Structure 1
């Protein structure tokens, strides 16, 4: 490999750190440089590149953690590889392991446990944010996956730049740019075999997108950012609509004041989730529900009944659906 002249390499590294700083400022806001960050590092090239970047940008304000779910025999060794690199670079690092084996839908359950462990680690160590290495190519894959599921604005907003205490400062970076960092800096990394496992939707989509040049991943990431802004605007409008209702309205009341469909969907969903916080309603089901309500028919969602208030065409009441009599036809 041809050696990069020292001055040119210094300029490249400086530019990279400026890009990371801009991503952090965009996500966290003013005072970003005084916050404390924990990097979620799996050992893959993306997260190893983020670890190197943070160690060069804010060495006194960062730590790193690796979650080892124990799914593969090699995962413990991979976590130790990350720990060894961090020790060599004087980066505070910890390996986090679930207390109990992961059950249920493997990918979803593993993801939930990973973020739970990371957030507990963040709180235990007084860190302000967890950083993940999601990038523009990840965002493009997410957008296509959600398009295939008929997602609305919320889904097409994709991976958010900031979600609670989780921050993703690399959403305008390409996968190839992060790979270049680890190769040029001679940083060790591993490739998770699940990334190319064709049993998983994302792996199949990644393979399909790998050779295309028609879709600009960075432009798609910017579009996802605009959709995230639109999502925030719609949620604000929902808050304004609900705040305008009479203060006597309880959580069992739904009003329709000729709201646009998207606002009405969210108003209904909020009211339903007040009664059933874990309720999941598909968009098609919600549209059928709205059609029934506006046609003056009662409707059911799970064990909740929505019925029009007598002498009103614009007010509905939510109640528990009557229990079926198991002995009625006995």
Structure 2
């Protein structure tokens, strides 16, 4: 998950003081002695949070592990999503400033199972159903983000912390049923025939399928997308679209991003459906026109979709 050849700096650990993240700290301290650093984030949402950060600092001091306290501001709106974005942004800045080689979080099998079931309930596509990634990158930088505990059960991690004699903190939001995740956790706990471990394995299989799509989409981009210039010199793209819809969606999103726009997969999918039917589409500030052209390299008539940025709107 964190290959030896990529160990360019210490391993950063995101530790909240809960049993899962404390178990991550204890395991990493054994696996990477003298090569770990810890950050704990105070989201400013509960008065107890500052004390919990201080508790993590004391544990790190007892283990002689470098510690950094981070304070973030969470915007109004979706509280959990806002806290997550603020937390990862702060962790990414910390990792860059400290020259870390990777950052690890303590997501485990139950977290993965809950994520999969929540996304199934929302009708997510394959990218969402792939769940919590075992390895990706921190937002805004290329530092690795790893989740080494996805095969561990929550009870195993709690037992490890209990055996160490450390008393973990208990975040009350983990039992607040106003949050979707907490309600899903309760539903799964009441279904003795639906176990977290096989659900987590299914998410892993879906993640492998998603990596295959990403690989194919990269080939599609390299071999079937061509950058042109319009008559006025502005950039545009020509895309010979002859692949399954899931690949088209990724390529359309990449083209739109290259032209300065941003669209969701569902928006890109609707645009791809229109273009496949021979209709034009507008998405993310980009105009797309459908046509048929001969691709000389293959000697075949193929669907071609042309993309250019929409002209600026004029106001009277």
**Shift, 1:66, TM fit:** 0.5
Q: Which residue pairs with 2:305 in the alignment?
A: 316
| Deviation of the 1:53 alpha carbon | 1.5
TM-score scaled by length of structure 1: 0.82
The yes-or-no answer on 1:288 pairing with 2:270 is yes
| 1:122 Cα deviation from its structure 2 partner | 2.0
In structure 2, how many angstroms separate the alpha carbons of the residues matched to 1:236 and 1:296?
27
**Aligned counterpart, 1:20:** none
| 2:7–2:101 contact (8 Å) kept in structure 1 | no
Give the aligned partner of residue 234 of structure 1. 213
The answer to which structure has the higher strand fraction is 2
Distance of 2:56 and 2:241 partners within structure 1: 56
Residue 150 (structure 2) aligned to one of 148, 171, 175: 171
Query: 1:106-145 residue pairs with structure 2 within 5 A?
Result: 106-145=79-118
TM-score using structure 2 length:
0.85
2:257 is aligned with 1:273: yes
> Which blocks of at least 5 consecutive residues in structure 1 are unaligned?
1-26
Please tell me whether the aligned partners of residues 304 and 321 of structure 1 are also in contact (alpha carbons under 8 angstroms).
yes
Structure with the bigger percentage of helix: 1
**Would the aligned equivalents of 2:239 and 2:306 in 1 still touch at CA under 8 Å?**
no
Q: Measured at CA, do residues 73 and 246 of structure 1 come closer, stay the same or move farther in structure 2, by a change above 3 Å? A: closer
Distance 1:252 1:75, change over 3 A: same
Q: How much does 1:38 deviate?
A: 1.4
Instruction: Map 1:30-179 onto structure 2 (within 5 A).
Output: 30-31=4-5, 36-98=10-72, 102-164=75-137, 165-179=144-158
Residues 132 and 167, structure 1, Cα contact 8 Å, conserved in 2: yes
Structure 1 position 247, deviation (Å): 5.2
Are the structure 2 counterparts of residues 120 and 248 from structure 1 closer, same or farther at C-alpha, using a change threshold of 3 Å?
closer
Q: Aligned with 1:244: secondary structure?
A: helix
Aligned match of 1:301 in 283, 298, 302?
283
The 8 Å contact of residues 8 and 100 in structure 2, kept in 1 or not, is answered as no
Tell whether the 8 Å contact from 1:300 to 1:306 is kept in structure 2 after alignment: yes
Equivalences for 1:199-214 in 2 at 5 Å?
A: 199-214=178-193
Q: How big is the shift at 1:67?
A: 0.5
Deviations 1:30-52 (A, max 9, x none): 45788521111001110011111
Residue 311 of structure 1 and its aligned partner are, at CA, apart by 6.7
